[in-house]
């Protein structure tokens, strides 16, 4: 069964964001990694790239398929999780501990458009 | 948890005789070739490895079957099929294609010789209607009976290094002495040493009732993992076996796909022969190649293949992160100038371009028991 972590905000396309001050750590939910199966490659942006809420910033490749990563917020990439370059399977081991990019938020009000954990759970069970 | 069940029940896709069993096992079900088929039960990697290392069973009841009998049966098969079945021993199986007159591929198929002037043809699910219509169009002047039997037969593929002992001990079907690409009739069923995984294995054709009982025995034995079409594709891909729709099509001839060895141009005639003779003599504009990427990004069907100057010179037909050798590889149809081994080629994957080179399109060695 998929795990759900409290205190995060979730998008309909199964990304999460953990907000710390003006920064947010973006990754995919445990539900998403289950659905994807074995992750074999993570296509990530570069530091200083701009991301836009609702737009694609990379992709997660499983054996089955490539799935676009959609940014839940707008901002500037300040860090990418380089560990995923060589060990993409970390997303299967613990999707919440292994964020994909760290972003400096340009419009924190966008967070209000995202779901809390209860709403996201309901979304997954629809 | 299987949220799509109701949608699937209401859909127009056909179900195989094992549909309820797949759903009960919690399989991810998806449309393929006009059927709702299991893509995976647990995950593709585990199922893939089960077939490479032990044994897996696939429901391949979606495949189509056509029986050709009558005084001109051999003559007719020789006319529509690229391989040469003349004088074959009973039980022999041939792989080959049916072609359009221009050399494009109608389908790739197996032809089983069941008796004198008695042939059993196994065709791809997605092509059943098209193939049967095509075969019927070619019957003029031949004294044959064409019997479309797809709705009668279920089919199981038991594949992997332990397949022989599993089929013998769990199903009680003697098969040790069966040679590669031969078949025999056991009661009401047909069993052959064939498959689509690059491993030793068997394909078993029987009634729906037989197929259901055999499936239950295999699953209950615990010696055979249920495997979905997801790993069937990764398994066939990494040993370089083509899939109609990807590596073969109405626009891709067997010569372009590197499958000339299954087209016997020394036969007196078959539909498409003249086109292939011309292609062999004058060359083809595009060829199917293997490409290995330096990076781990995965080339997928339809992605553009570029040369060093950035011009598109081809298109990916199938690509994966190859599970058995841990590399990102693909098959691609490229302009013939770029088909030589070690030619540097690039694949556009989303916004980025990834470096690679032409390699043999067999990424992992087959382990047949011949």
Structural domains in chain A, CATH included, are 13-106 (2.40.50.100)
Q: Are the Cβ atoms of A61 and B298 closer than 8 angstroms?
A: yes
Q: Are the Cβ atoms of B321 and A43 closer than 8 angstroms?
A: no
Q: Is the pLDDT of residue A64 over 80?
A: no
Token reading at B284: 């083809």
Residues A91-116: pLDDT tens digits? 999 999 999 999 999 999 999 999 99
Better pLDDT: A38 or B251: B251
**B43: confidence class by pLDDT, cuts 50, 70, 90:** confident
Identify the residue among B43, B227, B230, B232 best suited for mutation to test binding to A, counting A beta carbons within 10 A and taking the highest.
B43
Least confident of A48-52, A74-78, B42-46, B269-273: B42-46
Return the CATH class of domain B63-150+253-284. Answer: alpha beta
When the candidates are 1.10.286.10, 2.40.30.110, 3.30.1330.10, 3.40.50.620, the CATH number that belongs to B286-359 is: 2.40.30.110
Rounding to the nearest 10 degrees, give the CA dihedral for residues A88, A89, A94, A96: 30
**B11: confidence class by pLDDT, cuts 50, 70, 90:** low
Q: Are the Cβ atoms of B300 and A41 closer than 8 angstroms?
A: no
Residues B289-331: pLDDT tens digits? 999 999 989 999 999 999 999 999 999 999 998 888 889 999 9
Residues B82-133: pLDDT tens digits? 999 999 999 999 999 999 999 999 999 999 999 999 999 999 999 999 999 9
What is residue B325's predicted lDDT score, i.e. its pLDDT?
Answer: 85
In B, what residues contact A, Cβ < 8 A? Answer: 3, 39-40, 43-45, 48, 230, 234, 296-298, 300, 320-321, 323, 328, 349-350, 352
Q: Output the average pLDDT for chain B.
A: 95
CA distance B330 to A56: 25
Q: Could you say which of A40, A59, A64 has the minimum Cβ distance to residue B296?
A: A40
Distance from CA of B164 to the nearest CA of A (A): 28
Q: Are the Cβ atoms of B43 and A37 closer than 8 angstroms?
A: yes
Domain ranges of chain B: 5-61+153-238, 63-150+253-284, 286-359
Q: Could you say which of B39, B40, B298 has the minimum Cβ distance to residue A40?
A: B298
What is residue B4's predicted lDDT score, i.e. its pLDDT?
Answer: 45
Q: Are the Cβ atoms of B40 and A37 closer than 8 angstroms?
A: yes
Among A40, A60, A66, smallest CA distance to B302 is for: A66
Going by their DSSP bridges, the two strands B286-293 and B352-359 should be labelled as antiparallel
Interface TM-score (ipTM) > 0.85: no
Q: Which residues of B touch A59 (CB under 8 A)?
A: 350
Q: Degrees (nearest 5) of the Cα angle B124, B127, B128?
A: 85
Residues B310-321: pLDDT tens digits? 999 999 999 998
Return the CATH class of domain B5-61+153-238. Answer: alpha beta
């Amino acid at each position: 069964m998929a795990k759900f972590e409290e205190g995060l905000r979730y998008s309909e396309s199964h990304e999460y964001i953990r907000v710390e001050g003006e920064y947010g750590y973006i990754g995919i939910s445990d539900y998403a990694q289950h659905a994807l199966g074995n992750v074999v490659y993570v296509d990530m942006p570069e530091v200083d790239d701009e991301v836009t809420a609702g737009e694609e910033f990379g992709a997660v490749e499983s054996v089955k398929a490539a799935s676009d990563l959609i940014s839940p917020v707008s901002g500037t990439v300040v860090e990418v999780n380089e560990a995923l370059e060589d060990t993409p399977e970390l997303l299967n081991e613990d999707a919440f501990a292994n964020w994909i990019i760290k972003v400096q938020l340009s419009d924190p009000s966008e967070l209000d458009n995202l779901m809390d954990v209860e709403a996201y759970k309901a979304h997954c069970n629809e | 948890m299987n949220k799509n069940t109701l949608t699937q029940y209401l859909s127009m896709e056909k179900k195989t005789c094992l549909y309820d069993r797949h759903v009960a096992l919690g399989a991810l079900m998806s449309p393929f070739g006009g059927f709702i088929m299991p893509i995976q039960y647990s995950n593709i990697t585990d199922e893939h490895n089960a077939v490479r290392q032990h044994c897996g069973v696939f429901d391949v009841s979606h495949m189509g079957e056509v029986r050709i009998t009558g005084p001109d049966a051999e003559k007719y098969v020789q006319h529509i099929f690229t391989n040469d079945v003349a004088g074959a021993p009973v039980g022999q199986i041939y792989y080959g294609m049916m072609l359009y007159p221009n050399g494009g591929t109608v389908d790739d198929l197996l032809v089983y010789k069941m008796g004198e002037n008695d042939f059993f043809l196994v065709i791809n699910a997605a092509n059943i209607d098209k193939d049967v219509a095509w075969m019927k169009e070619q019957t003029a002047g031949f004294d044959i009976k064409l019997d479309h039997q797809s709705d009668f037969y279920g089919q199981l593929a038991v594949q992997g290094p332990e397949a022989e002992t599993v089929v013998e001990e769990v199903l009680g079907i003697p098969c040790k002495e069966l040679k590669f690409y031969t078949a025999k009739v056991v009661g009401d069923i047909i069993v052959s040493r064939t498959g689509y995984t690059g491993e030793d294995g068997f394909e078993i054709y029987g009634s729906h009732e037989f197929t259901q009982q055999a499936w239950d025995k295999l699953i209950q034995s615990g010696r055979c993992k249920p495997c979905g079409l997801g790993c069937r594709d990764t398994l066939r891909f990494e040993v370089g076996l083509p899939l109609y729709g990807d590596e073969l099509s109405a626009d891709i001839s067997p010569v372009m796909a590197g499958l000339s060895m299954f087209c016997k141009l020394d036969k007196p005639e078959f539909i498409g022969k003249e086109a292939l003779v011309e292609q062999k003599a004058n060359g083809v504009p595009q060829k199917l190649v293997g490409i290995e990427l330096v990076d781990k990004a995965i080339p997928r069907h339809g992605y553009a293949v570029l040369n060093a100057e950035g011009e598109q010179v081809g298109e990916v037909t199938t690509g994966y992160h190859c599970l058995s050798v841990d590399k990102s590889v693909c098959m691609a149809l490229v302009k013939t100038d770029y088909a030589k081994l070690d030619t540097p080629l690039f694949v556009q994957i989303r916004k980025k371009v990834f470096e690679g080179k032409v390699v043999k399109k067999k990424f992992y060695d087959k382990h047949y028991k011949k």
